[in-house]
Amino acid sequence: MLHPRTTALAGTAPGIPAGSGGCGSWDLKVAGNYMSYTEFHMKRFTVSAALLIVGSALAALAAEGQYQQATILSIEQKVTTRVLYYVVNTPITKDDPYYEVSVRLKDMAYTARYTPRHKDDALPDEWKAGSTVQARVHGRHLLVKAPDGTEVDLVITKKKALAEGAVQPAPGK
């Protein structure tokens, strides 16, 4: 079957005179130019693939950057102890501080962990239980916007579905 714009069908490849045996391929005369059957389908495939890639990239970008309003349920500063080395069967340990943050985002309660790079790093002072922030979930990370516009990356440790309209109490110690 010929393409709708095809006006003629020749029996040889471009540059090979008719009746010389050639390679046995067929040419399509499309809009006044000769184009091989393979070249025609390859161009059509390339355009289709490019449109598919651009469309999926735009959809991914649109879905990923959506921040939503979230409520901080609780913030607790905790310490994890790790063993550095042993001296005659006695462990030498170091305490590493971290924050456990509970956030309500839509109908889900996320408990996430923030480990500061330095001992003196802390979460923003504006973040208290009950305050609202902008947040989004990216895989197993909860990205929360700080008041200065930077993103704070929290690693999600727990996820719990909440009833619509129910108020989640702060978790006890």
Q: Has residue 84 been placed in a domain?
A: yes
Across 78-100, b (16+ Cβ under 10 Å) vs e yields eeeeeeeeeeeeeeeeeeebebb
The per-residue pLDDT for 44 is 80
pTM of the model: 0.57
CA 21 – CA 159 distance, rounded (Å): 71
pLDDT in tens, the chain (173 residues): 555 555 544 445 555 555 544 454 555 555 566 667 677 777 788 888 888 888 777 766 555 568 899 999 999 999 999 999 999 999 999 999 999 999 999 899 999 999 998 878 888 889 999 999 999 999 899 999 999 988 999 999 999 998 765 555 555 54
**What is the side-by-side order of every strand in the sheet holding 33-36?**
6-10, 27-30, 33-36
**End-to-end alpha-carbon separation of the chain, Å?**
75
Pair 106, 142 in one domain: yes
- Our count of domains for the chain comes to 2
Instruction: Report CA 145 to chain centroid distance, whole Å.
Output: 17
- Of 31, 46, 64, the residue that ends a domain is 64
Residue 94 tokens read as 């170091």
Pair 19, 77 in one domain: no
Place of tokens 């929360």: 144
Q: Has residue 167 been placed in a domain?
A: no
Strand pairing category for 141-145 and 132-138: antiparallel
Residue 91 tokens read as 């462990």
CA 65 – CA 75 distance, rounded (Å): 25
Query: 163: how many CB neighbours lie within 10 A of its CB?
Result: 8
Pair 84, 133 in one domain: yes
- Of 45, 64, 83, the residue that ends a domain is 64
Query: 9: how many CB neighbours lie within 10 A of its CB?
Result: 11
Residue 136 structural domain: 68-161
Q: Has residue 171 been placed in a domain?
A: no
DSSP string across 143-171 = EEE-TTS-EEEEEEEEEEE--TTPPPPPP
